[in-house]
Amino acid sequence: MIKQLKKLSNPFYYSIAAIGIFTLVLLLFMYFKEDGLFEQHNLVTKIYYADNISQTHQLLIDRFNKINKGKIEVVPINLPFEKFSTNERKELLIRYLRSKSDRIDIFSVDQIWVPRFAKWTEPIEKYFPETEKKDLIEQALKTCYNKNDLVAIPLYYDIGLLYYNDFVLRKSPKYESIKKELTNFITWERFIEIGKELKSFGVPVYLFPGDDYEGLMCSFIELLGSQNEDLIVRDSIRLSTPGAEKSLQLLVDLINDSQLTSKEVLNFRESECYKKFIRENGLFLRGWSGFHFWYKDIIGPENIFSKYLVVPLPHFKNGKATSIIGGWNLMVSKYSTKKNEAIKFIKFLVSEASQETMFENGGYLPINKSVYNNSEFLKKHPDLNFYETVMATGYNRPFLDKYTRCSDVIAHYLNLAMRKQISVKQALATAERVINSGEFFMK
């Protein structure tokens, strides 16, 4: 026994034992690391962020990762607008969140989806004190609540705008007077008169997305808002009204009466309208902020900011100027195991510095008030003053859990009326009945 103890106390055997233990630990480390099971012990916390990852998004992700090197790493999951429509993105995210997986920590949503996604997201009021919420534009922050719970934070703002081709408009002998009218909130009645005069230029006069989808709904709700008319009254859709008829009739007439708009738009979404506008030297375009940045590769090397100018959308005579509010918000999955790190990244994205980067590099309208109050930044970007003016005319779509279904039904019948397949009255009455009765609907 004593002999065996002496043998075990020999330095040689200590070395052998130590090498054996070290080898075992190393093998276990390599196994777990390769198998992904060791990741929880890694000092770097990875958070997964699903969005349309533009060059600007990636720039900010890289900046955050550099600041937090060795601690937090944001891993982007790209859902590009070029490959996925907004509805396709929505369905992909819903299917994933239903699985209760913790592999997505942060995801972006069209602001109108917030009530739909609230059940799968973390309430974040406790992470954002009142002082931080006051830094955010009220209209944008308002879209982040569901039943008085803060469940999202705005990433950027969007608003409906009218673009015009200044190079083409200059051919008109009435250029100066037309430009002045456009700049000062022109009415639809006057816009149509001018459009008829400019048809002789032989270019597309007015392009707007008329396909059976949410983009068409935005135009329709803008027209309702211009007449101070709400789409929803006491939890019911209201479409059989003179205001709704006037709104849809305008869209029908732009294509079939004044013919300022080509019938092609009945199958066009934003991207198709933008491309036709650029390639065929169109005159007017209903679009969103950021057009110059998103389509600069198609537009080419010319000075796009001097060629394509932006003004408020037309409104009905005796009505009010109205532009539909858009934008994307950030939500944290309730299944995420890295909520604190996710919140840290969101706060980084909505900081003044990050919001300035988003505007300068990608044309995304800031949601941080400090950007609009920064005199030095405004000197470099005086167009922000224009955007702020138009924001004052902003009009929200209804925030309802069932909004997507309402939108699908209404857009379908709007499109049929614009194709002259059914009358304006029939389209609106049918859409109202289908939604309020809850009857089965399939396109």
Q: What is the pLDDT of residue 87?
A: 77
Q: Among the CATH numbers 3.20.20.70, 3.40.190.10, 3.30.420.40, 3.40.47.10, which is that of 159-324+398-437?
A: 3.40.190.10
Q: Is the dihedral of CA 410, 412, 418, 420 positive or negative?
A: negative
Q: What is the pLDDT of residue 402?
A: 83
pTM across the whole model: 0.84
Distance in angstroms (rounded) separating the CA atoms of residues 235 and 45 = 44
Q: What is the pLDDT of residue 143?
A: 93
CATH of domain 40-158+326-395: 3.40.190.10
Instruction: Encode the chain (443 residues) as per-residue pLDDT tens digits.
Output: 444 444 444 444 444 444 444 334 333 333 434 444 444 446 899 999 999 999 999 999 999 999 999 999 999 999 988 788 777 888 899 999 999 989 999 999 999 999 999 999 999 999 999 999 999 999 899 999 999 999 999 999 999 999 999 999 999 999 999 999 999 999 999 999 999 999 999 999 999 999 999 999 999 999 999 999 989 887 789 999 999 999 999 999 999 999 999 999 999 999 899 999 999 999 999 999 888 777 666 666 566 778 899 999 999 999 999 999 999 999 999 999 999 999 999 999 999 999 999 999 999 999 999 999 999 999 999 999 999 999 999 998 988 878 888 999 999 999 999 999 999 999 999 999 999 988 777 77
Q: What is the pLDDT of residue 175?
A: 98
Residues 6+ apart with CB under 8 A from 335: 97, 100, 101, 102, 120
Q: What is the pLDDT of residue 26?
A: 35
Distance in angstroms (rounded) separating the CA atoms of residues 218 and 220 = 5
Domain ranges of the chain: 9-39, 40-158+326-395, 159-324+398-437
User: Is 159-324+398-437 in the same CATH topology as 40-158+326-395?
Assistant: yes
Q: What is the pLDDT of residue 42?
A: 61
Q: What is the pLDDT of residue 438?
A: 81
3-class DSSP string for the chain? CHHHHHHHCCHHHHHHHHHHHHHHHHHHHHHHHHHCCCHHHCCCEEEEEEECCCHHHHHHHHHHHHHCCCCEEEEEEECCCCCCCHHHHHHHHHHHHHCCCCCCCEEEEEHHHHHHHHHHECCCHHHCCHHHHCCECHHHHHCCEECCEECCEEEEEEEEEEEEEHHHHCCCCCHHHHHHHHHCCCEHHHHHHHHHHHHHHCCCCEECCCCCCHHHHHHHHHHHHHCCCCCEECCEECCCCHHHHHHHHHHHHHHHCCCCCCHHHHHCCHHHHHHHHHHCCCCEEEEECCHHHHCHHHHCCCCHHHHEEEECCCECCCCCCCEEEEEEEEEEECCCCCHHHHHHHHHHHCCHHHHHHHHHHHCCECCEHHHHCCHHHHHHCCHHHHHHHHHCCEECCCCCCCHHHHHHHHHHHHHHHHCCCCCHHHHHHHHHHHHHHCCCCCC
Q: What is the pLDDT of residue 27?
A: 39
Residue with tokens 């009530």: 115
